[in-house]
A and B are shown apart, each in its own frame.
Chain A
Amino acid sequence: MARLKTLVRNQGGVQPLRGGHALCQGCGIPMVVRIVLSTIARPTVVVNATGCLEVATTRYPTTAWNVPWLHVAFENTAAVASGVEAAQCALRRRNALPSDEDVAVVCFAGDGGTYDIGMQALSGALERGHRFLFVCYDNEAYMNTGVQRSGATPFGAATTTSPVGATSWGKAQRRKDMTAIAVAHHVPYVAQACASHWDDLSRKVERAVGCDGPAFINVLTDCPVGWGHEPRLAPHLLDAAVESRFWPLYEVVDGRYRVTYLPTRDVDVEEWLRPQKRFAHLTPALVAEVRRQIDADWAALVARTPD
């Protein structure tokens, strides 16, 4: 069981991502970053994809980072991380680094930098077996550039490139199952988590950084601007995503599935959809289709889970 006290102690009096950054009110990204980094009890280097997190935390000459941080471009985060990891192996071998110092390599990328433009580099790094953790903060569209659709944008959501109009009712396609794609790489650890369930996320990070190989965690997090919700509603909304089974929490350890949180309330998908402007146009028939997709996905997940 993760405890807040442990997370605070791991920080050693220094917040890895400090205040003063320019991320929006109600944005879940800094929460995800702090939970992830505070869980890791050893030194960490962060590799960041281009996106909201990078732009809002490192406007030169300022920085919000108290840990070593590296950003190169949008699509290559996992490739940069593989170079850092290889450097650590090489330097340790020629005794240029202390042999007992094991620096964790953690990537943060949005859904664009993970599902779409970043997928090739991520796939390559997962396949090669580098020891690193890749965390996707998935807010389901290109929020940094003004809410354009991505491969993670769910069915029916209105974005600026899948707008609602006389002949359109938002995104007509289903989202890509990126977590399953990561599982298909036979890596030791893959999980799906949500910013609202911090203890679940923290436990997953602990397992991820403890394994000998690549780990991938897909974390759902909100975007008040892109989703069109009140900032104060963020935790409730993310909770509804989990409870309605829109975003199941599970992990896959060495290929073995386990649901880490069973929804306790009987929450209908309307509770997840209704507070968000991007879904405001959905007709009862489209809501029924969303419900059908969720039920089918949940049944498939349960079928993959041994007990």
Chain B
Amino acid sequence: MRQIDPDVVPAYPITPQTPIIQGYAKFVADGLAHGELIDVESEHSAMSAAIGAALAGARTMTTTSSQGLALMTEVVYLAASMRAPIVMAVGNRALSGPINIHCDHSDAMLVRDSGCIQLFAENAQQAYDLMVMGPRIAEHPDVLLPVLVCLDGFTITHSAEAVDLLRDDVVRRFVGEYVLPHSVLDPQLPVTRGSFAMPDSYFEFRVQQAQALERSLAVFQHVAAEFFEVAQRRYAPVEAYRCDNADRVVVLLGSTAGTVKDVVDELRLEGEHVGLVEITTFRPFPHAALAAAVEGVDEVIVLDRADSPGGTPPLHAEVAASLYGSEIRLSGHVYGLGGRDFHPEDARALFACERDGIPWLV
């Protein structure tokens, strides 16, 4: 955030997001970042102020977690519908109750249908890289939507690991300048933003918003290609890890990918044909890329870190839609709720149970 140097950052503290906003506040206090930090009185006001700032022509970023995201959900929907290109880091944390401060994806899934772009990071490096790409995707004229960079609470938000940083001037040049075509601060060209839509126009607004989200998949790929030019790190909507000749492939979001990659490596050495698919763009969901990545495998195992009581967990439902009509067997498990650890042995047990046809319990 110091390198992107946004104009306005309204934020409210919540664990495990706090290191982000405290770090940024110190950068501002030390004169190393130059944005207006608004210490708002709630997350609801954080996103509200963010919309005001973004539509007034300021590059705007914020950050939240869990209950904070739940409180601001009303305004997250509005940010998307008002086409405010805000970039927000979400330190993924379980939703209450019971109250719990540790990682799962139930907060992110609460805004699944808000119309925002949702990118999931595997580690601190990816969190950094996706944040740098965030403004370019959000502000693209074909998109103009909020980008939520989801990073697992504590596992990533508090992780101490080596991260390859780009130079300040490289980041500044990469993100460029924020220029909004119709600022509400332009008295010469008065605009009415947030008007009241009746049944004769509401549907059209929603369709345009959905189309913009669909278009953002191509924009993500375009920005990722440019990012590769400056960082030599490659990003795609779907990352397939050792899926060649695989009979069993796990599909998941976020930091657990690191654990499963290690186990895939071990099992491959032991002669098993297993692989991993990591989804980076949960919204828009890359159905075609996912289907291509798992083509020819016998079984896809979906790991959801959020439940949907009485229904199908969110990632499982998306993968089922991607594979509809194919011969691939599909199974799904909910794991790691409220920060329950997922160890390499768990991943091994998962692959083993799927091989032997035994139901696997978390």
Contact = CB atoms under 8 A, between A and B. Distances in A.
B168 interface: no
Interface in A111-150: 120-121, 123-125, 127-128
Given A59-B196, A71-B195, A65 B45 contact: no
A72 B82 contact: yes
Contact of B196 (A54, A79, A96): A54
A69 B35 CA distance: 24
B185 A103 contact: yes
B111 to A, nearest CB: 16
B41 A91 contact: no
B15 to A, nearest CB: 21
B192 A94 contact: no
B10 interface: yes
The listed residue with most B CB atoms (<10 A of its CB), out of A70, A75, A120, is A70
A96 B58 CA distance: 9
A87 interface: yes
Contacts of A61: 195, 201
Interface string B168-188: 000000000000000011110
Interface of A: 43-45, 47, 54-55, 58-61, 63, 65-73, 75-76, 79-84, 86-91, 93-94, 96-97, 101, 103, 120-121, 123-125, 127-128
B196 A47 contact: no
Contacts of A120: 41-42, 44-45
Nearest to B178: A96
A80 B56 CA distance: 10
Contacts of B57: 87, 91, 96-97
B7 A68 contact: no
Interface of B: 7-8, 10, 34-36, 38-42, 44-46, 48-58, 60, 74-75, 78, 82, 184-187, 190-198, 201
B41 A47 contact: no
B52 A70 contact: yes
A59 B196 CA distance: 5
Nearest to B177: A96
Contact of A60 (B44, B185, B197): B197
A103 B42 CA distance: 26
Given A45-B184, A84-B184, A66 B35 contact: no
A79 B40 contact: yes
B44 A83 contact: no
Given A59-B198, A76-B45, A93 B53 contact: no
A69 B53 contact: no
Contact of B48 (A43, A80, A101): A80
B190 A121 contact: no
A79 B44 contact: yes
| CB-based closest 4 A-B pairs | A83-B52, A124-B41, A43-B187, A83-B49
Contact of B185 (A45, A69, A73, A82): A45
B52 A47 contact: yes
Contacts of A60: 195-198, 201
Nearest to A74: B74
A121 B51 contact: no
Contacts of A127: 41
Contacts of B10: 79, 82-83, 86
A2 to B, nearest CB: 22
A73 B45 CA distance: 11
B27 to A, nearest CB: 15
A66 B190 contact: yes
The listed residue with most B CB atoms (<10 A of its CB), out of A45, A65, A87, A101, is A87
B58 A79 contact: no
Contacts of B39: 128
Nearest to A56: B196
A87 B74 contact: no
A248 to B, nearest CB: 30
Contact of B49 (A43, A80, A93, A101): A80
A63 B195 CA distance: 8
A101 B82 CA distance: 26
Contacts of B60: 83, 87
Contacts of B41: 120-121, 123-124, 127
A79 B45 contact: yes
A128 B38 contact: yes
